[in-house]
Each structure stands twice: as structure tokens, then as C-alpha cells.
Amino acid sequence: MKNLLKDFNEKDLKIFNQEFNNFLPKKIMDFHVHLWKKDFLNKEISEERQKSNPFTDQDIIDGFVFKDFKTISNTLFPDKEYSGLFFGLPVKEVDLDKANKYISDVCIENNCYGLYIPEPDLNEIPENFFKNRFVGFKPYPDLVDFETPADFSKLDIDVSMFDFISKKVLEFSNEYGLILLIHIPRKGRLSNKRNIEELRKIGEKYKNIKIILAHAGRSYCYEDIWSGIQYIKDMKNLYVDTAMINNFSVNKLLMEELGPERILYGSDLAVAALKGKNIDINNKHYFVTNTPKYWSLSSSEMNLDDFTFFIYEIIRAIKIATQSLNLIREDIEGIFNSNAEKLIESIIENKMYQLKNGKNL
């Protein structure tokens, strides 16, 4: 990993101490952390894809390992116990066997848990799944064989969720009440009727699955979520994470419609360790960064030294939303830690999970 903390300064530390130190609980669980090594890439990433996706940026793609995670979390969150739910980099150029094995090795060594990235057509659950510290799956639309769209950054891939989440993954997850962290496809996101229909189908047919919408269903703007949330809020097994959500109005709506108990703090590290903000312009989201990136709005001729990290902007947006609703301390601790802990504990305390954990699965 390149030095993502090269721009860390006293202004950032002041932001943490003045805005976040007393607001955040002592224990924080980040529900959305990618870890990988550069040598997991089994093919070269095209120049087009490098320019359009933050995770293929030259400051990121060289890898983000557990040691990097600890360095960043210890620096940006001093005196906090910052843990994570880990998974690999789910892009088609990555060797998923290597990626998943690394996550397992990290979780076994550090007594934490991870999500398994499945091939879209996975029909056999890997041996020692539970012993390898996996508590669910992180399927991803980019792994489907499709024609790359012109604007890959928005991942408006017109595929069905059932194209990248196999029946075996759904059945196995339902049997053991596992986590399914879904990055929804298609233009329109949660306002897309097919996405809503498919989410409801999964939720109704597989009632034991803990469905988590990554990036709150890619709802970076209020327009992305205000109508669609009405059609899925009654799904009792549905949760959202806050990865890269920098818009407090999105968080406020989620807290109002789902309740704080179904919201999980997530960052999207390593990208969240860059300096910038995810902004809403005319109901479209754009990344703005302190240094020029192909995938962001920026300028080499402007002085952007006052930017702070995406991860701080994520927390700031949560804080403003909680304050606007006068949420109590218990709610805040839930969003940042106990909601995630309870989900994972419910899995590992499941008798079926414990039984299989002793039978090479």
C-alpha cells in the first residue's frame, strides 16, 4: 500500500478530538473493509477501468493488508478499539481463491470474522467454511461476465442479483442465518423496480438470511433512496451499511424508516482513507478529492488542503443525522458497534453453525 496517511495532519487530529472523540463509542466495528494484496491480481487491469473505479486507483490497487488497516485505524481513531468485518477486493481481475484464503488467515490469526466472495455460479460451499471464520458472503455484480459500461464508476450494470448470487449461496445462507452483503446493480439503484422485486423475493423466500445493503443500496444521494425505501422497509431481515455515505439526509431517512437498530457503520476502506467527499449535485453523486483523480472532481490548480478523509465525512454525516433526530447514546453505540456484534453473535451462537463448525464445514 502506498502511504495513504501522507496527508494526515494536525487539522485532521483536531477534527477527531473536537467532533468525534466524545461522540463515538469506545468500541467501533467497521462492517465494510476490503483487504487484499497486489499479487492477488491474475490479470492486468485495463487503463479504462483504472481511471473509472476508486479501488483501481494507483494509490489503492497495490494492496491493503491487515497491518495497513491497523495503522490507519490507530492513527485516525486514537484510543478507540476499532475492529472490522473483512472481505477481499471483488473485481474480476482478482484471484478469488487467494483473496478468500487471505481473509480467512487474517481472521483466524486476529480472532475476527470475514465474508466469502463467491463466484457468481458457486454451487459447492468451500470446505471448512465456518472454521475459516466466514459468517456470510459478499457477492458482487462486477464478477458477472458482462460488457463493461462506459462509466464503470457508477456500476450501473444491467444484471439480475440472481446472476451473481447463486441458489447454493442463498440456500446455505438461509440454512445457517448468514450475512449476505449485497452491492445492488442497475441504474436507478433502489428506485429500480426490478431491484426492489428481487430484494423482496430474497427476503421472503430466504427469511433467515441477514440481508445487508452495501452503501445503503448505493444511496449516495437522497434521490437514490427516498422512494425505494418505502417498498422494502417492512423487510425485517434487511439492514444497511453506511459505506461512503457522506449525505446526512440519506442517513436521517434511513434512521427514520428502518430505525437505528438496522443501520451498520461501514467505511469502505481502503478508499475511505483518501481525502475527499462524496457530494450530491443535481441528484447525482460525484467524488471530490484533494488531489486530482480520473474518477473524481478535482484540480491541480486549486488549494484543497482543508479536505479531510472520506472516513471522517462518513462519520460526520452519521453524527449530524443522529443529532437532528435526538437519538440516544444507546442508538449511537448500536450503529457503530453493537448492531454488528449482535448480528455476528446470532450466527456463531446458532446451534446449527456450532454443529457444522465441528464437522469440517
pLDDT digits (tens, 9 = 90+) for 41-65: 988 888 888 777 888 888 888 899 9
According to the model, what pLDDT value does residue 345 have? 95
d(Cα 272, Cα 61) in Å, to the nearest integer?
14
Look at 51-60, 101-110, 120-129, 180-189 and tell me which has the smallest mean pLDDT: 51-60
Task: Answer whether residue 214 is part of any domain.
Answer: yes
According to the model, what pLDDT value does residue 153 have? 46
Task: Answer whether residue 2 is part of any domain.
Answer: no
Task: Answer whether residue 155 is part of any domain.
Answer: yes
According to the model, what pLDDT value does residue 300 have? 72
d(Cα 137, Cα 120) in Å, to the nearest integer?
11
Please report, for the domain that includes residue 21, its CATH number.
3.20.20.140
What's the total number of domains in the chain? 1
Average confidence (pLDDT) over 120-138: 95
Residue (of 177, 205, 204, 211) closest to 352 by Cα position: 177
Q: Which residues constitute the domain of residue 299? A: 10-357
Band of pLDDT at residue 123, cut at 50, 70 and 90: very high
Q: Which of 42-56, 149-163, 166-180, 341-355 has the highest mean pLDDT?
A: 166-180
Task: Answer whether residue 3 is part of any domain.
Answer: no
Task: Answer whether residue 64 is part of any domain.
Answer: yes
Average confidence (pLDDT) over 166-194: 93
194 or 359, higher pLDDT: 194
- pLDDT tens readout for residues 218-228: 999 999 899 89
- pLDDT tens readout for residues 17-50: 999 999 999 999 999 999 999 999 988 888 888 7
Instruction: Find the helix packing angle between 248-257 and 310-324, rounded to 10°.
Output: 50
Whole-angstrom CA distances from 269 to 25, 86, 148, 294 are 20, 10, 24, 19
Task: Answer whether residue 296 is part of any domain.
Answer: yes
Read off the C-alpha cell for 120: 457468481
Task: Answer whether residue 4 is part of any domain.
Answer: no
